[in-house]
Amino acid sequence: MKNTLLAYFTDFISINTQSDENSDSYPSTEAQELFAEVIAGKLSVMGMENVSVDRWSYVTAELPANTDEELPVIGLISHMDTSPDYSGMGIHPNIIADYNGSDIVLKDSIIISPNEFPILKNYIGKTVITADGTTLLGGDDKAGMAEIFTAMDYLIKHPEIKHGKIKVAFTPDEEIGAGVDHFDTEKFGCDFAYTIDGGDEGEINYECFNAARAKISIRGKSVHPGSAKGSMINAALLAMELNSLLPDEKPANTEGYEGFFHLTAIKGDVSRADLEYIIRDHDREKFEQRKKIVKDAADCINEKYGSCVEAEIYDEYFNMAEIIMQHKHVLDRAVKAAEKAGVTVDIRPIRGGTDGARLSYMGLPCPNLFTGGHNFHGPYEFVVLESMVKAVETILNIVTV
């Protein structure tokens, strides 16, 4: 199993499938369209049935039940794209068998050190996989993809293991918040599902942020600075002033269930400035308050300087706990499956979101399972092969009788 899993993973990460939040197409990059066809072909060769790629590049397939016992139809989902935050072009895996606990020195002066990332000490003697320092690794979510592929491959090769119908899906553009924009849960046809898109071994998530995005445009008044008194309105300075009106609750100083305001982009000059924020909170009431705080800040600037600010605030997804707790057996099943695999379960809230959050509100209860990865979206990313094996074993325990 370990060799099969490693082969799938290194094959998948060799193909660049970054998504692009500035694209108007769906999926956002042609590379994802091409990759969808590639993995559909692999599913067919493996022996999966009803393999399809739809117009949106969603790849779906099924493994029919091999028992007459009445069992739920279970879905397994991961996403094909990698983050646009860091290069995914030309990924070269650095496979460290029997890791000895020392610094991992990569190109471009990148050092993955247990002094900075103490969890590495848990993996002494394990197989740690990194990129070479010039790219991200792509474990988010090609580790999840490889784990689903390996689990299906194992069941096909071991027909004596009884299971109900299993559906798999691979989605594009999750990293830019559009992963299930066109996903048809009714057509997918599952009673419940799991995204395989989490972090370190044992992590199971059924809670996530409520999420919104704010786009703020400020129009200034540009006049010659020599004669600007009483007439110039500097949009860039108003952007700074507006930001100062928000509480000092940023990702860098919050944790656990604490929400935040995150300035993701800012650009501007005297005549115009644009800011983008993501707004996050696990608590729905506090989430609504946070959106109001941003709106009030924009209103304050408008009242002080005239109608120069436009603020667009829109929801992205909601805390899936509200849905999962109505179907708690889905969570219990995952916990028991992980424990059966010898995994110490760590149920924790996601300080982010997954496709499963939106799918849960689309009628498909969908907790999130670990992949064995760490430090996603940058050159310090690594996965642990033995943890990936545990993820496969957990999947098998979930879907088998």
Taking the mean position of all CA atoms in its chain, how far away is CA 293? 27
Question: Is the domain of 324 the same as that of 310?
Answer: no
Please choose, from the candidates 99, 168, 102, 106, the residue with its C-alpha nearest in 3D space to the C-alpha of residue 128.
Answer: 99
CA 150 to chain centre: 21
Position 55, amino acid? R
Looking at 317, 351, 372, which one is the last position of a domain?
317
Residue with tokens 């109001």: 292
Residue 258 and residue 155 share a domain = no
Give 365: exposed, middle or buried? Use CB within 10 Å, 0-12, 13-18, 19+.
buried
The number of domains in the chain is: 2
- The phi and psi torsions of 397 (rounded to 5 degrees) equal -65, -30
For residues 278 and 343, membership in a common domain is answered with no
Same domain, 175 and 215: no
Rounded (10°) CA dihedral 384, 388, 390, 395: 160
Calpha distance 361→359 (Å, rounded): 5
Look at the block and give the residue holding tokens 């784990």: 147
Q: What would you measure as the largest C-alpha separation in the chain, in angstroms?
A: 85
Residues of the chain with pLDDT under 70: none
Residue 306: give its domain's CATH number: 3.30.70.360
User: In terms of residue numbers, what domain contains 251?
Assistant: 211-317
Question: What was the pLDDT predicted at 228?
Answer: 87
**In terms of domains, do 6 and 111 share one?**
yes
Angle between helices 139-157 and 2-13 (to 10 degrees): 140
317, 349, 371: which is the final residue of a domain? Answer: 317
280/356 same-domain check: no
- Same structural domain, 187 and 323: yes
The pLDDT value given to residue 37: 98
Q: Is 346 a catalytic residue?
A: no
The reported pLDDT for the residue numbered 382 is 98
DSSP assignment of 321-374, as one string?
HHHHGGGHHHHHHHHHHHHHTT---EE---SS--HHHHHHHTT----EE--SEE
pLDDT value for 390: 98
Residue 195 and residue 128 in one domain: yes
| Residue linked to tokens 């009030």 | 296
Residue pointed to by tokens 């300035």 = 263
Q: Considering 297, 317, 337, which residue would you say is the last residue of a domain? A: 317
- Tell me the C-alpha distance between 189 and 209, whole Å: 26
21 assigned to active site: no
Residues 6+ away with beta carbon under 8 Å from 286? 259
Among 20, 147, 153, 174, the one annotated catalytic: 174
Residues 290 and 243 in one domain: yes
Token code pair at residue 389: 């094996």
CA separation, residue 39 to residues 42, 60, 345 (Å): 5, 10, 31
Given the residues 20, 62, 81, 355, the one annotated as active site: 81
Contact between 365 and 188 (Cβ < 8 Å): no
CATH number at residue 184: 3.40.630.10
Query: Is the pTM above the cut of 0.95?
Result: no
Give the integer Cα–Cα distance in Å for 18 and 134: 15
pLDDT at residue 361, as a whole number:
94
Q: Are 114 and 89 in contact (CB under 8 A)?
A: no
309 and 383 fall within a common domain: no
First-last CA distance in the chain: 20
Identify any residues that bridge with 63 across adjacent strands, giving them in sequence order. 166
Asked whether residue 129 falls in the same domain as residue 43, the answer is yes
- Please tell me whether residues 156 and 195 are part of one structural domain: yes
